[in-house]
Amino acid sequence: MTLPSDSKPDWGNQYRLVASEKWKAKSAAMGQPVTDALVEYAQPAPGMRVLDLASGTGEPAISLASRVGQHGHVTALDLSAGLLEIAAQRAEARGLKNFTTQQADAHSLPFPEDSFDLATSRFGVMFFGDPRVALQELRRVLRTGARACFLAWGSFDQPYWQSMMGVVHRHVGGPLLPPEGPDPFRFAERGSLSAVLRSAGFNGVEEDTQTLPWMWLGPVEELWEYSQSVSVPFRPMLERVPAEKWAEIHAEVHAAVRKYSDGEKIAFRASVVLASGKK
């Protein structure tokens, strides 16, 4: 995740790194349908040079590297060196030789003009401090005719969020998210991401909303623990919870999430926005 240096939340905080490592297999499985949707939408071809922004622990960069082949290359870029280390380990475990990581800010990319044939970002563009500046910078490093493809969260009003963070919010009140902080739902409104792409100079802009599988292969209690650890934008709200309230909140969250569980897996559906533009 990438924001300007004067307003970064700690995306690589120790809790998130531990959670990302502890549950990397289950997290990857939960996100795989979303990853697959973005990869298919991006249409990578053998030999392409691809830049994946806000790559975190490595998706969709790893999936893209498998598609572009030995003559292509994928660069996974993120602010967090710790998350990129996990990404590099995952790529190495898959034997990918066409995959590298780069710690950098999306608002100031360390690449010359016309470097990439394709760009992607899964659940990253919402967190750019100044999306227009970041997308202008991305357009600079793309070759003429190259596409930039993004996947962002849809509305907060969907079961995955309402059954956990929605429960906490009903108990503590106040802002769901800090007014000037990162907002996962920044581009939930139809056409909002398209508008930023056009303002950054992209042509042929497209946007669509899809509902995809979002499944956790494990117990309710585990998913709730994972979600608290990795949901950086909600940390200020979580920190407002009085100690004496936690037992009640845990019980209510578990009950809400259990509605989507069969005892072995928790099956949500994720509403997401897909958008793209061409240089």
CATH of the domain at 18: 3.40.50.150
CA distance 9 to 66: 31
Tokens of 107: 């608002």
- Count of domains for the chain: 1
Dist. CA 228–CA 41, nearest whole Å? 30
Flag whether pLDDT at 252 surpasses 50: yes
Tell whether the model's pLDDT for residue 208 goes beyond 70.
yes
The pTM assigned to this predicted structure is: 0.90
Q: Which domain holds residue 199?
A: 5-278
Question: ω into residue 112 within 30 of 0, thus cis?
Answer: no
- Beta strands 266-278 and 142-153 are antiparallel
Mean pLDDT score of the chain: 92
Is the pLDDT assigned to residue 78 strictly greater than 60? yes
229 phi and psi angles, rounded to 5 deg: -75, -35
Q: How confident is the model at residue 17 (pLDDT cuts 50, 70, 90)?
A: low
pLDDT over 90, % of the chain: 84
Residue 176: CB partners within 8 Å, gap ≥ 6? 156, 165, 169, 234, 237
